[in-house]
Structure 1
Amino acid sequence: MLPLRLLLTFMVTVVGMLFSTTGFAWQSTSVRPSVDFRDDAELTVADDEITLQDKTPAKPKDPPKPPTRPQTPPAPPSRPSIPPVPVPAQPQQPQPQFNPFVNPQPNQPYLARLSRAPDMFGDSFGSFTGLTFADPNTTSPDIKSSEIRLPKPGGPRVFKNEQSRAMPTDRVFGLYHHFQNAYRLETASANVDLFTLGFEKTFLEGNTSIELRMPLSNPVGLSTGVTGQSFQTHAAGDLIVTFKGLVYSDESQAVALGLAVNTPTGSDLNVTVNSVNSFTLKNDAAHLIPFVAYQAALNDDVFFNGFLQFDTPTNANSAQSRSGIGGAIVTNGSVTDQTLMYVDASFGYWLFRDDEAEFLQGLAGVLELHYTTALNRADNVDLTVVEFGATSGRYDVLNLTVGLQANIARNTLLRAAFVTPLTDSRNRFFDSEFSLAVVFQL
């Protein structure tokens, strides 16, 4: 029995050394739990049981490491939340609508220096009707003795550059013009006094406006006893309706486009030649007047106004001649007015300005140039004894205007100007002009 135990002990020792050398753990069903053979272990066999005891003394447990970071104490219990106090809703201010045709910035208010810049004075008279008549002592009607200048049917025309500017304005105004030697017969001339009443009303937040003007002139009658020439006009003029809208504006300049419509509401022109033959030029034609207006405030004291406009007739005026006093109509015809172009420039300077003054709040001086030219030759109608139409064919008129504006109280403007032609007698509509205007800004 003893040799068998020694043999088993020897075999177990050899096998354990082999497994320990190769790194494998040996496991047997008769051994519980599994045992690793190490140098620091002691193997014992007793009663068919093998035990392995560790000879390494037990190491004391390491003390717990203190925490590297101080622990945050628990937060105290939160207070119950207080419901927010309701804030009354503020009334929403109305936002101005954006007009893409006017301003890169929606309806930015214009600075005062642009809105208070004075209007252009103008030099309005329009043009005249020429009449060439035959000498009654000649046997041939083709031999003409003289040319005279007569009013156009409907009287003098008032154009958009007259007492106007690019910026739409709420206003009511009254205008007076005196034209010296505006109409001429062979041996006589006539002056013209023109009165104009009008108003302008803005809409679409002040970016556009409509304006009405009604001119009224003194009835003009002129005759010469030598040749028997005479003509007669009446007071009613042509009603003018103008539409204007801003296409660009900022704090110092504004550009507007517009269209004026000259309606044929005025009187006809009646002419008598040789004391026997009478002629009538009807007021039938409506005129369209498109324009471009520019306005600038160069600084607090200097300002500028500019206009470019065209006067185009839409139809002709009919002409009639009668033979003898109360005679029947002999001939008929028609004559079309010329198309005119107007170029106007106005520079001004504030001589004095005090917005806090009780009476006189400002005084401005203005210097203007006005150029008028015909874009086509005159149309004429031959009525045997007379020939209606412009006598000079085409013409170029240049006038100089010097004006003064006084700002009275808050919204009242008093304006006065003097106009003188810079061209010769064949290229002028009058010898001189004086104008007076009263404007109430609303």
Structure 2
Amino acid sequence: MSGRHNKLIAALYALTCAVVTIAPTSAQVPARELTEEEKIEAQLVSASIAAQPPAARMPSLSTPRTPAATSRAAPAPAYNRLASAPEMFGDYFQSGGNVTYSPNELAGSADGAFGSFSIPSAGGSRHVKVGENNKALPADRFIFSYSHFHNALQYTETDFFGGGGTPVTQQFPIDRYTFGVEKTFGNGMWSVEVRMPFQGDFNFQGATVAGDGGQIGNLALILKHLLYMDDEMAIVAGMGIDTPTGSNFVLTDNVSFPTNQITFQNDALHLLPFLGVLLSNDGPYFINAFVQCDLATAGNRIQSGPAAGGPVDTLGLYNEQNLLFVDLGTGYWLYRDEMNDGFTSLAAILELHYTTSLQDTDEVAGDAAGRAFTYRNGFNRFDVLNMTVGLQAQYNILTSIRVACVVPMGAADDDRFFDSEVQVQINRRF
């Protein structure tokens, strides 16, 4: 028998003798005393067993797992606090420009009308503003926004023959509906957002001309990156792209023969670099801020041609003004209980939005089948300040319903693009 087996037998024999010695029995049986060699063998085996490392514990369903390290710059409680802060509402609307026109010289006494009107850009949806229904933190959410702009567009006509030379002015509202989705990636450090706006039908009928703005807006893509986050603050930067998918504006000259149309094309792609800051702590207040530029990469063609089809003449290229937006909002939690299964929070929000042009307006003047016209921004350089006041109610933490009113702070025409705005927004996290 091998030496290893001898050692094992000796150890078992020693253990058996020890048990027999201490076990209570009715008749004690004296145990044989180990020889010196057996005692040494038993001690060696015991020492060998004690030196073995403990067996690894098998994982089970009840074994707690160590949470994986996160790539975020702040712990989960801080992220959840910032993520629950409401988005900024926003405020923005601006027409594409203003057209003034003269009577059609080729129509003679059939046309004594002249006037002016504002053109809705991108079918009335205008270009995207990153700070609208947004905050400085990547998120996973579905987006819906509705805006009603009161007296956003205007048409004025003076008809010497049919109207007695009295100017007639019509003002039109714009209703905009925006659908979108934002999705995070890169461990939540990035997000990409897609927005698609639509608007209610906009058209007008004058004595000799008619206008149609269409209903399709510009598809926008927004890339957002989380630069920094701690327990109370998040900073993001990114780039938006406003693509020219929106409707063109078409002006029909009803006294020309054949009927002529002037088309104001929606051609330009806009780049929208931005920087955002979000502040929120355990207190009742929170702050949202955005700074953004709107930079046109090309001009928009103005073309003239028969309404029934045929050769088209390009009358000019209109370059939109580059813009700067500065947005600051603060809010107060009126009620907050995130453990509630239903109504979880109510917040009041106050915002100020400043918009300024970075250059003088462009101007295109031409003649379209006998009708002279000029297209430009009638305000030229402008500075607009709007105030937004709103409420956000949140349900089950995931769904927020938001209502706000926007009021221009300026009284002059070049200090306001509309008289008032009503907003309804719904965000659903996933």
**What is the TM-score normalised by the length of structure 2?**
0.77
User: What letter matches 1:425 in structure 2?
Assistant: D
Query: Secondary structure at 1:153's aligned position in 2?
Result: helix
Distance 1:416 1:127, change over 3 A: same
Instruction: Tell me how far 1:109 sits from its aligned partner.
Output: 5.3
Query: Computing the radius of gyration over CA atoms, which structure comes out larger, 1 or 2?
Result: 1
Q: 1:210 aligns with which of 192, 197, 200?
A: 192
Distance 1:437 1:324 in 2: 39
Q: 1:436 aligns with which of 415, 424, 427?
A: 424
Distance 1:422 1:382, change over 3 A: same
8 Å Cα contact 1:188-1:224 kept in structure 2: no
Matched, 1:252 2:232: yes
- Which deviations, in whole Å up to 9, do the C-alpha atoms of 1:214-242 show, x marking residues without a partner? 001112111223xx342101111110000
User: What letter matches 1:375 in structure 2?
Assistant: L
Aligned pairs (5 A) from 1:312-391? 312-322=295-305, 328-384=311-367, 385-391=372-378
Tell me the residue number matched to 1:87. Answer: 56
Distance 1:275 1:419, change over 3 A: farther
Distance 1:88 1:126, change over 3 A: farther
Distance 1:389 1:323, change over 3 A: farther
Distance 1:309 1:324 in 2: 39
Instruction: Tell me how far 1:322 sits from its aligned partner.
Output: 3.7
Q: Across the two proteins, how many residue pairs are aligned to each other?
A: 356
| The structure with more helix, counted as a fraction of residues | 2
Distance 1:347 1:250 in 2: 19
Q: Please, which moves more after superposition, 195-204 or 146-155?
A: 146-155
Distance 1:212 1:426, change over 3 A: same
8 Å Cα contact 1:128-1:429 kept in structure 2: no
Distance 2:211 2:340 in 1: 51
Aligned pairs (5 A) from 1:4-403? 80-81=46-47, 82=50, 83-88=52-57, 95-96=68-69, 98=71, 103=73, 110-135=78-103, 146-156=115-125, 157-186=127-156, 187-225=169-207, 228-272=208-252, 275-276=255-256, 277-322=260-305, 328-384=311-367, 385-403=372-390
- Which deviations, in whole Å up to 9, do the C-alpha atoms of 1:347-400 show, x marking residues without a partner? 100011122323211100000000111101111111231112211211111111
8 Å Cα contact 1:354-1:361 kept in structure 2: yes
8 Å Cα contact 1:320-1:383 kept in structure 2: no
- Which deviations, in whole Å up to 9, do the C-alpha atoms of 1:226-264 show, x marking residues without a partner? xx3421011111100000001111111000001000001
Instruction: Tell me how far 1:285 sits from its aligned partner.
Output: 0.6
Distance 1:84 1:146 in 2: 95
Query: Secondary structure at 1:415's aligned position in 2?
Result: strand
8 Å Cα contact 1:231-1:269 kept in structure 2: yes
Query: Secondary structure at 2:315's aligned position in 1?
Result: strand
Distance 2:428 2:148 in 1: 22
Distance 1:87 1:298 in 2: 43
- Which deviations, in whole Å up to 9, do the C-alpha atoms of 1:15-59 show, x marking residues without a partner? xxxxxxxxxxxxxxxxxxxxxxxxxxxxxxxxxxxxxxxxxxxxx
Instruction: Tell me how far 1:425 sits from its aligned partner.
Output: 1.9
Q: Please, which moves more after superposition, 424-433 or 278-287?
A: 424-433
Distance 2:79 2:270 in 1: 36
Instruction: Tell me how far 1:87 sits from its aligned partner.
Output: 2.0
Query: Secondary structure at 1:200's aligned position in 2?
Result: strand
Tell me the residue number matched to 1:427. Answer: 415
Distance 1:381 1:220 in 2: 23
Instruction: Tell me how far 1:150 sits from its aligned partner.
Output: 1.5
- Which deviations, in whole Å up to 9, do the C-alpha atoms of 1:144-169 show, x marking residues without a partner? 96543111134323311110001111
Query: Secondary structure at 1:132's aligned position in 2?
Result: strand
User: What letter matches 1:96 in structure 2?
Assistant: A
8 Å Cα contact 1:132-1:391 kept in structure 2: no
User: What letter matches 2:178 in structure 1?
Assistant: T
Instruction: Tell me how far 1:173 sits from its aligned partner.
Output: 1.4
- Which deviations, in whole Å up to 9, do the C-alpha atoms of 1:257-308 show, x marking residues without a partner? 0100000111111113574353111111100000001100154210000000
Distance 1:324 1:353, change over 3 A: closer
- Which deviations, in whole Å up to 9, do the C-alpha atoms of 1:127-155 show, x marking residues without a partner? 4321122255899xxxx965431111343
User: What letter matches 1:419 in structure 2?
Assistant: V
Distance 2:95 2:272 in 1: 14
User: What letter matches 2:85 in structure 1?
Assistant: A
Q: Percent identity?
A: 35
Instruction: Tell me how far 1:108 sits from its aligned partner.
Output: 5.8
Distance 1:356 1:326 in 2: 64
Distance 2:408 2:306 in 1: 39
Distance 2:306 2:53 in 1: 99
User: What letter matches 1:87 in structure 2?
Assistant: A
8 Å Cα contact 2:95-2:119 kept in structure 1: no
Distance 2:374 2:79 in 1: 55
Distance 2:135 2:192 in 1: 13
Distance 1:434 1:392, change over 3 A: same
User: What letter matches 1:244 in structure 2?
Assistant: K
8 Å Cα contact 2:217-2:247 kept in structure 1: yes
Distance 1:275 1:193, change over 3 A: farther
Distance 1:246 1:347 in 2: 20
8 Å Cα contact 2:240-2:273 kept in structure 1: yes
